[in-house]
Chains A and B, each alone.
Chain A
Amino acid sequence: MNQNQHDDRGSETRKRYVKPEIQKVDLTPEEAVLGACKNGASSGPAQPRCNFPSACSSMGS
């Protein structure tokens, strides 16, 4: 086997190199730690203008 034959056989089986990339995934911290109410329109213990004690219908949704 000469060098050219070896190279041809290797290139047939070798995968094309793809440089690894870091992909970022957004995480919403206040939701992840159960610290949020759904939005500013609904009152809840986490809101500055809280009407607590009251039952929030959509906690951290």
Chain B
Amino acid sequence: MTAKPRTCAARGRGVGLWGPRAAPAWVRGEASSRGDVLLTIAGVTVAVVADEPGPALRVEDATKPFLVDDATPDVTIRVGWGQLLEACDGEQVFDSGALWRLYRQRDSFLFRFSTPALGSVPYREACFDARFTAGDVRLHRPYFETRGPLDPLEYPLAELLFINHLHTHRLGVEIHGCGVIDRSGAGYLFAGESGAGKTTMARLWEGQTGVTVLSDDRVVLRAAGDTVWMYGTPWHGDARLASPARVSVAGVFFLRARSEHVWRPLDRPQAAARLFACSFPPFYSASGLDFTLAALDAVTAAVPCRELGFVPDPTVVDFVRQQAGG
């Protein structure tokens, strides 16, 4: 007999997140001794709780600055072992063409992560409620027998969670970009696809006194009134730069490699289109796409956007400061 794939509800989410299991220590206001994880990224707090018995959790070095001791979680995730199946119950709504696929199961969303290196059975599944406030992550036990502690939200799950939580709650947008806080307190976003020079730019700013690099690869933009806030994330690039700080964005620069430092202003439609191309749009969600476009339009209305061609040397820092008036 072929086992029937279990839906998110069948995993016990329908009876409440904790079920018969005691609420984790941070819910009870006690210090956790089981390696549960509580972190805040871009103002969104996520609690990750491991089943007992279950996998030992590991936090990447870049994520450690984002850990918090006491916060009310916006998202709560349980992590545990499972015996996953090749088949899946539900309607497939998106195929990334690489690691993951997305399925809709009644009132929940299921992400399945597979790689041909391991086989046809997914190595991980993550099921979330429709509002992305509660989740259940199952790791296919046979694939992890020889492994030590695990990062429960290993790429790309953490970003998928945040992208969907952010647009569902109309909070913000993740951008493929390098963010810095200048010594003046001004925030600059350097956006671009892979190879545009984000990490190069991050390293040039990192060497400057009084500068904080929020990330050399991923930031989150959130608008509050007329202010666009940029948050660092732990999802770094080759420079491994990550900070949980935030800054008000004074300028957005779209990077291009050139033989000299040069810039040109972009009008709002151009800037919005460029930002969209540097974001991670939820193509499977019409409302998510609507929100993304509206949010990026709001960014271009509030913040000057420019194309920046640069030579990879430290003089670009002062060049940017001069152009931005900083």
Contacts and interface: CB of A to CB of B under 8 A. Distances in A.
A46 B98 contact: yes
Contacts of A45: 99, 113, 115, 117, 123, 155
A30 B99 CA distance: 10
Contact of A25 (B156, B159, B277): B277
B237 A35 contact: no
Contacts of B240: 57
Interface residues of B, number: 43
Contacts of A53: 123, 143-144, 147, 150
Contact of A46 (B115, B193, B283): B115
A34 B97 contact: no
Contacts of A31: 176, 193-194
A48 B217 CA distance: 24
B300 interface: no
B274 interface: yes
B14 interface: no
A33 B235 CA distance: 15
Nearest to B147: A53
A46 B115 CA distance: 7
Given A57-B238, A59-B155, A59-B156, A35 B276 contact: no
B236 interface: yes
Most chain B CB atoms below 10 A, which of A26, A30, A55, A58: A58
Interface in A34-61: 34-36, 38-39, 44-46, 48-53, 55-61
B257 interface: no
Given A23-B270, A25-B274, A61-B238, A52 B280 contact: no
A28 interface: yes
B288 interface: no
B20 interface: no
B81 interface: no
A32 interface: yes
A18 interface: no
Contacts of B238: 38, 57-58, 61
Given A26-B277, A58-B237, A33 B98 contact: yes
A35 B283 CA distance: 13
B199 interface: yes
B280 A34 contact: yes
Contacts of A1: none
B318 interface: no
B273 A25 contact: yes
Given A33-B98, A35-B96, A46-B99, A61 B115 contact: no
Contacts of A56: 155
Given A23-B273, A57-B238, A34 B156 contact: yes
B237 A61 contact: yes
25 contacts: A25-B274, A27-B277, A28-B193, A28-B194, A32-B277, A32-B281, A33-B94, A33-B96, A33-B97, A33-B98, A34-B280, A35-B98, A36-B98, A38-B237, A44-B155, A45-B115, A48-B116, A52-B118, A53-B143, A53-B147, A53-B150, A56-B155, A58-B238, A59-B235, A60-B155
Given A33-B97, A44-B155, A57-B240, 19 more contacts: A23-B270, A23-B273, A25-B277, A27-B276, A28-B193, A29-B97, A32-B281, A32-B283, A33-B94, A34-B99, A45-B123, A45-B155, A50-B116, A52-B117, A53-B144, A53-B150, A57-B238, A58-B237, A61-B198
